[in-house]
Structure 1
Amino acid sequence: MTTSRPKGSSGRGRRDLRVRVKTAKGRKLSSTRWLERQLNDPYVQSAKAEGYRGRAAYKILEIDEKFHFLKPGARVVDLGCAPGGWSQVAVARTNALGTRQNKPQGRVIGVDLQEVEPIEGAEIHLLDFLDEGADDLVREWLGGSADVVISDMAPKASGHPPTDHLRIMGLCEAAAEFAMDVLEPGGVFVAKVLAGGAEADLVARLNRAFAKVSHVKPPASRSDSSEKFVVATGFRGKPD
């Protein structure tokens, strides 16, 4: 399965059909700008049309098209899975619904601190992955180790970029440690990070644990965002 770039994302050879939003009474200018961006975002429009729970689904789709880790039969753990777009993609790509005979059936486990609406083909659990014994619970739910651990988590923004960078890197480091506790040899870890200067320790540890570590900014990631994704493939074992 491949995904094409959402229609209208180029803008070449067409009239300016941009939706403009007037600032309503009581609405902040920043809110108006956000609403206008959402209304004009082709990924938002495509997500609604294709039934995804958010435009973020296209990020994991585009990353997988480059690295091909969501394979039929794969066992996937989605950390911080709300609202569920990444789990939706994982279900479809690992054939978790098993609609054909003799077709490998994947397993998708989504965990989050908040309640998540059920996702067909996925198992959603209310869990803090930082809790002691969380890795044992996930392995129990999977019936073994995971092939892939994915994370699109980000802490609530503080408005102070250096602080936000450190927070998301701390979350990514915790997710990486969890992944190394539950992954099968050869497994894959994918997580969101922010561009900045606090990545060296994480990358060094991942390089010791995985055969290859890459950074990618998929087309669905907004150009004005500092987010990117780390993709670690070929898990070799947790370093000391």
Structure 2
Amino acid sequence: MAKKKFSKDWIHQHINDPYVKLAQQKGYRARAAFKLTEILDAEKLLRPGQVVVDLGATPGSWSQVVRERLKGAGGEIHGRIIALDMLPMEPIAGVEFIQGDFREDSVLRQLEETLQGQSVDLVISDMAPNLSGVGVADAARIQHVCDLALEFSASHLRPEGALIVKAFHGSGFSQIVDAFRQQFRRVVERKPQASRDKSSETFLVGRGLK
């Protein structure tokens, strides 16, 4: 019974969520688009001509935001967007998509081949592993995803590039922040207004490789 009530409450909250309505109006595939928009605005990141890698991209709202920001005055896209996810993604014009598990070497190699030696200006990751509810196991999964994003960034970011990842407050969070500080000159935590109040998600932004 409690589960049924929870799903009804969630549906009610979702339908009345102003960001859900705004996403529908603007043609974004998910309300998460506004989280990235806030972070990009606050950090003054991303401009036409840059190369962006979107990890865990499906359904594609973050790639949609990036695409808008890489558009020139004539509407053409200046730069590259390479999106990656285990799940399929409906095509987005101007976005190169790789379907595969980021944790597998073969998929990473495919991503590297697609980059053709180009350095990356921005890596974005809204990835969240499937959580079990067991604190220690979940903390390890979250940390693993963040570590992979950090490793990829260390190899492929320009010296002045940036990484945005989703993390969660709780067990293991301080270790993720420490790992960011070892790799980047500037690290900030951001909780966008579009994040739900009850959510423990916090986005970490690392800028400038050490």
TM-score, structure 2 as length reference: 0.90
Please state how far the C-alpha of 1:164 moved relative to its aligned partner.
Answer: 2.8
Corresponding position: 1:128 with 2:101: yes
- Which residue of 1 is the match for residue 114 of structure 2? 141
Please state how far the C-alpha of 1:134 moved relative to its aligned partner.
Answer: 4.0
Q: Sequence identity of aligned pairs in percent?
A: 40
In the TM superposition, what whole-angstrom CA distance separates every residue of 1:24-44 from its partner, at most 9, and x where no partner exists?
Answer: xxx811110110010110000
- Root-mean-square deviation over aligned CA pairs: 2.1
In the TM superposition, what whole-angstrom CA distance separates every residue of 1:139-175 from its partner, at most 9, and x where no partner exists?
Answer: 3323312111100011123233454333222211222
**Secondary structure of 1:28 counterpart:** helix
Matches for 1:44-193 after TM superposition, within 5 Å: 44-95=20-71, 98=72, 100=74, 105-132=78-105, 134-143=107-116, 144-193=118-167
| Contact kept in structure 2, 1:157 and 1:164, CA below 8 Å | yes
- Which residue of 2 is the match for residue 10 of structure 1? none
**Secondary structure of 2:105 counterpart:** coil
Equivalent-residue separation in structure 2 for 1:94 and 1:205 (angstroms): 30
Equivalent-residue separation in structure 2 for 1:192 and 1:156 (angstroms): 13
Q: Alignment partner for residue 231 of structure 1, among 169, 190, 205?
A: 205
- Which residue of 2 is the match for residue 12 of structure 1? none
Please state how far the C-alpha of 1:109 moved relative to its aligned partner.
Answer: 0.4
Count of residue pairs brought into register by the alignment? 208
Q: Alignment partner for residue 171 of structure 2, among 192, 197, 210?
A: 197
Which is richer in helix?
2
Greater shift after overlay, 105-114 or 135-144?
135-144
Equivalent-residue separation in structure 2 for 1:62 and 1:219 (angstroms): 8
Change (3 A) 1:159 1:206: closer
In the TM superposition, what whole-angstrom CA distance separates every residue of 1:81-131 from its partner, at most 9, and x where no partner exists?
Answer: 011000100111122xx5629x87121000011111101221111122222
In the TM superposition, what whole-angstrom CA distance separates every residue of 1:155-207 from its partner, at most 9, and x where no partner exists?
Answer: 12323345433322221122211222221111100000000131333322322
Which is richer in strand?
2
Segments of 5+ residues of structure 1 without an aligned counterpart are 1-22
Equivalent-residue separation in structure 2 for 1:156 and 1:127 (angstroms): 16
* Large movers: runs of 4+ above 6 Å: none
| Contact kept in structure 2, 1:94 and 1:105, CA below 8 Å | yes
Change (3 A) 1:91 1:170: same
Query: Larger Rg: 1 or 2?
Result: 1
